[in-house]
């Protein structure tokens, strides 16, 4: 019996109207399948994506990874020539691009970082950082925020504070969530929680919270967290999966924070993913500080994957990071912050009934909207009509924008005009 017949019978038996049917033989993520609206994707160039519904201006960088834009010839040809040169490797293999990529990542990390552990994406970067923290501290407890997303695998999703955690609870043991950055919550609860909880092995935090609405901690936040971790023997792990590689106008979001002496905040580990390859391949990484790395000189590092540092992914990352450097895309994100912020603020002044706040850093913004669910659906439609892709965060009533860092000022102005028109049309 085919799927259609099964569904029709099911509908008959249960006395409900025939269910909508998707005819795709694969799952769509984080969604009921029947109501999902997929995008039929053909290709892309620069900041544009070609779909069945026409050419879209991408103000979202797919899901925040396409920082170099689409069809970049240098990245594409690097992958092609790597495929011809060396297209396989065992985890223990050494080859030049692997070494070069690790060196480049460490060169952009805060002072004292000496080793890289490669992963397949952001979730398993967090997963492996948590494993390393357990191995080094001998403690299993973890503190993270409710307002966070850290990935879909069991450990990372347990650390996650948002709705995606709840479906698979109880998850891993020992995770304590704090209210930091939630509406109306000032400062940080972490020092007090570490004290009361005892035996916490790690604190896992996004530097700037991305998918939960772009939340930016106060200037003294990370100095306090660092001091509390030091006082209580917990590892400080900063999740840069979404904002790392230039999204905020710096290589890593944590660089926006300094301690009271104006020195860099130095975490114990930094997790990366997404824009490390610009979306051209799939890779993540854990950057590890010397004080953690040296522990594994004698102690066994009990973790690894079959596709650890696969050459195609490594080369894609190396070529992408070179594009970020050569084309000064990270500086560009910092420069474009001013016009980006100005146009968002203009919209807020024009539509104070719709827009209650903008949070902007580099080329990522979170805009709080007063729409109800119906308003959000209508906004979605109006944005689609204007062929502009964004991130509509229905659960936190926010619009998140994150264009490729390669966007020109004119393209950015065009994107902002389309967003403004869509908001006005819903109003």
Ligand X SMILES: Cc1ncc(COP(=O)(O)O)c(C=O)c1O
For residue 411, give both structure tokens. Answer: 């393209």
Under the criterion CB under 6 A, does residue 161 sit at the interface with ligand X? Answer: no
Shortest-Cβ-distance residue relative to ligand X: 122
Closer Cβ to ligand X, 123 or 248, answer by number: 123
Q: 391, 400, 382: which is closest to 344 by C-alpha?
A: 400
Output the smallest distance, CB 420 to ligand X, in A.
26
Under the criterion CB under 6 A, does residue 253 sit at the interface with ligand X? Answer: no
Under the criterion CB under 6 A, does residue 121 sit at the interface with ligand X? Answer: yes
Under the criterion CB under 6 A, does residue 273 sit at the interface with ligand X? Answer: yes
Closer Cβ to ligand X, 232 or 274, answer by number: 274
Strands 284-289 and 355-361 come out as unpaired
For residue 208, give both structure tokens. Answer: 């700037």
Under the criterion CB under 6 A, does residue 122 sit at the interface with ligand X? Answer: yes
161, 145 Cβ separation under 8 angstroms: yes
Under the criterion CB under 6 A, does residue 201 sit at the interface with ligand X? Answer: no
Of 59, 101, 203, 211, which one interacts with ligand X (CB under 6 A)?
A: 211
Output the smallest distance, CB 209 to ligand X, in A.
8
Under the criterion CB under 6 A, does residue 151 sit at the interface with ligand X? Answer: yes
Rounded Cα–Cα distance for residues 378 and 427 (Å): 10
Rounded Cα–Cα distance for residues 10 and 393 (Å): 33
Is residue 292 within a helix (H) or strand (E), and if so which, with residue range?
helix 290-293
Stretch that binds ligand X, among 40-48, 118-126, 135-143, 401-409 (CB under 6 A): 118-126
Of 239, 268, 382, 411, which one interacts with ligand X (CB under 6 A)?
A: 239
Closer Cβ to ligand X, 188 or 207, answer by number: 207
Closer Cβ to ligand X, 205 or 423, answer by number: 205
The CA angle 51-52-55, to the nearest 5 degrees, is: 40
Rounded Cα–Cα distance for residues 127 and 153 (Å): 7
Angle between helices 221-232 and 190-197 (to 10 degrees): 20
Find the distance separating the first CA and the last CA of the chain, reported in whole Å: 48
For residue 119, give both structure tokens. Answer: 């992963």
Under the criterion CB under 6 A, does residue 67 sit at the interface with ligand X? Answer: no
Under the criterion CB under 6 A, does residue 127 sit at the interface with ligand X? Answer: no
Q: 167, 288, 306, 174: which is closest to 236 by C-alpha?
A: 288
106, 285 Cβ separation under 8 angstroms: no
Output the smallest distance, CB 335 to ligand X, in A.
24
Closer Cβ to ligand X, 61 or 319, answer by number: 61
Output the smallest distance, CB 50 to ligand X, in A.
24
Assign 297 to helix, strand or coil. helix
Of 72, 134, 150, 232, which one interacts with ligand X (CB under 6 A)?
A: 150
For residue 190, give both structure tokens. Answer: 């972490």
Of 215, 238, 242, 319, which one interacts with ligand X (CB under 6 A)?
A: 242
Assign 355 to helix, strand or coil. strand
For residue 82, give both structure tokens. Answer: 């790597």
Total residues at interface with ligand X (CB under 6 A): 16
Under the criterion CB under 6 A, does residue 232 sit at the interface with ligand X? Answer: no
What lies within 8 Å, CB to CB, of 312 at 6+ separation is: 79, 82, 83, 87, 281
Output the smallest distance, CB 168 to ligand X, in A.
15
Length of the chain: 427
Which residue's entry shows tokens 């620069």? 46
Closer Cβ to ligand X, 123 or 320, answer by number: 123
Under the criterion CB under 6 A, does residue 60 sit at the interface with ligand X? Answer: no
Of 60, 210, 213, 311, which one interacts with ligand X (CB under 6 A)?
A: 210
Stretch that binds ligand X, among 121-129, 303-311, 351-359, 367-375 (CB under 6 A): 121-129
Under the criterion CB under 6 A, does residue 180 sit at the interface with ligand X? Answer: no
Of 58, 206, 268, 368, which one interacts with ligand X (CB under 6 A)?
A: 206
Output the smallest distance, CB 39 to ligand X, in A.
18
Diameter of the chain measured on Cα atoms: 71
Where on the chain is the footprint of ligand X (CB under 6 A)? 121-123, 126, 149-152, 206, 210-211, 239, 241-242, 273-274
């Amino acid at each position: 019996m085919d799927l259609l017949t099964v569904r029709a019978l099911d509908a008959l038996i249960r006395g409900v109207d025939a269910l909508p049917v998707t005819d795709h033989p694969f799952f769509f993520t984080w969604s009921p399948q029947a109501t999902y609206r997929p995008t039929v994707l053909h290709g892309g160039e620069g900041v544009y994506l070609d779909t069945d519904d026409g050419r879209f201006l991408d103000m979202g960088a797919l899901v925040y990874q396409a920082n170099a834009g689409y069809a970049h010839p240098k990245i594409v040809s690097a992958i092609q020539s790597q495929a011809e040169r060396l297209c396989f490797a065992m985890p223990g293999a050494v080859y030049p691009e692997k070494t070069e990529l690790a060196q480049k990542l460490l060169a952009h990390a805060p002072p004292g970082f000496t080793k890289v552990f490669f992963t397949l994406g952001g979730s398993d970067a967090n997963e492996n950082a948590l494993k390393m923290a357990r191995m080094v501290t001998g403690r299993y407890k973890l503190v993270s925020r409710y307002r966070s997303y850290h990935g879909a695998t069991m450990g990372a999703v347990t650390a996650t504070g948002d709705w995606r955690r709840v479906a698979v609870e109880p998850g891993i043991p020992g995770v304590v969530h704090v209210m930091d950055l939630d509406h109306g919550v000032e400062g940080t609860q972490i020092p007090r929680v570490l004290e009361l909880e005892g035996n916490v092995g790690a604190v896992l935090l996004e530097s700037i919270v991305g998918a939960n609405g772009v939340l930016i901690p106060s200037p003294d936040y990370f100095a306090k967290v660092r001091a509390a971790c030091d006082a209580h023997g917990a590892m400080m792990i900063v999740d840069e999966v979404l904002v790392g590689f230039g999204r905020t106008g710096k290589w890593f979001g944590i660089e926006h924070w300094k301690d009271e002496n104006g020195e860099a905040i130095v975490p114990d580990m930094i997790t990366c993913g997404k824009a490390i390859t610009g979306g051209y391949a799939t890779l993540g990484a854990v950057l590890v500080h010397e004080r953690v790395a040296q522990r594994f000189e004698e102690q066994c590092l009990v973790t690894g994957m079959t596709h650890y540092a696969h050459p195609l992914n490594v080369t894609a990352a190396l070529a992408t990071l070179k594009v970020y450097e050569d084309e000064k895309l990270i500086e560009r994100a910092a420069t474009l912050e001013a016009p980006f912020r100005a146009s968002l603020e203009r919209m807020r002044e024009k539509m104070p009934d719709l827009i209650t706040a903008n949070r902007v850093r580099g080329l990522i913004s979170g805009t709080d909207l007063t729409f109800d669910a119906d308003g959000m659906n209508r906004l979605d439609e109006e944005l689609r009509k204007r062929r502009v892709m964004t991130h509509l965060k229905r659960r936190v009533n926010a619009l998140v924008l994150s264009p490729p860092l390669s966007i020109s000022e004119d393209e950015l102005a065009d994107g902002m005009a389309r967003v403004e028109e869509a908001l006005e049309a819903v109003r």
